[in-house]
Amino acid sequence: MNPTATAPLLTGDEFLRLHGDDKRVELVDGQLVRHPMPGMEHGVVCSTANFLVSAFVRAHRLGWVVGNDSFIRTRSSPDRYRGADVCFVSYAKLPKERGAPKGPLPVAPDLVIEVRSPSDRIGDMTDKAIEYVKAGVTVAIVLDPDTESLAVFRADEFPVRMHNGDELTLPDVLPGFAVQVKDFFG
């Protein structure tokens, strides 16, 4: 019987040094996890979510909206870095005067939006949203293009599922923000 070789665990610093520009990988418990390219539909929904949040945030000068799988540290020992599709960090947490930092986000975002890819299992997306919330993210949202629905995750609350006839509001992170769920997908 041959023992199976396992890759040595990477620290967060090693991961960022070796893979900091590779947006299709994450660090999960010290192991490199590669994700397949999700395709155009995923990109359209990500861009739409980024646009909807960015337009509101810019109009109200509330903070930073970041896309393209920006790395967020969700756990230490072993390290975890996740790549959010879209996230919002308020100026209260990351002042504008400091400028956009290089590398991973130095603070937990107020809002993270993940878009389910064709290769993503719903349970894995749920676990990832909960992981973000446990890491200090106030609200995590998972958008599902297949069902044109979303799920909203907050600490100490059951997830809320919404469909294309519902309106999403986020009074705890974006007071006054209101978007029809269907607008993320159409």
Rounded Cα distance, 107 and 136, in Å = 9
Task: Look at residue 1 in the predicted model and tell me its pLDDT.
Answer: 45
Average pLDDT score over the chain: 89
Encoding tokens for residue 132? 């973000």
User: What is the identity of the amino acid at 118?
Assistant: P
Give the domain ranges of the chain: 38-184
Task: Look at residue 35 in the predicted model and tell me its pLDDT.
Answer: 67
Q: Is the pLDDT of residue 159 over 50?
A: yes
Rounded Cα distance, 68 and 95, in Å = 21
The fold of 38-184 is tt1808, chain A (3.90.1570)
**Do residues 137 and 75 lie in contact, with contact meaning Cβ atoms separated by under 8 Å?**
no
Angstrom distances, CA of residue 93 to CA of 13, 20, 166 = 23, 23, 30
Q: Tell me the residue length of the chain.
A: 186
Digit-coded pLDDT (tens) for 112-155: 999 999 888 999 999 999 999 999 999 999 999 999 999 999 99
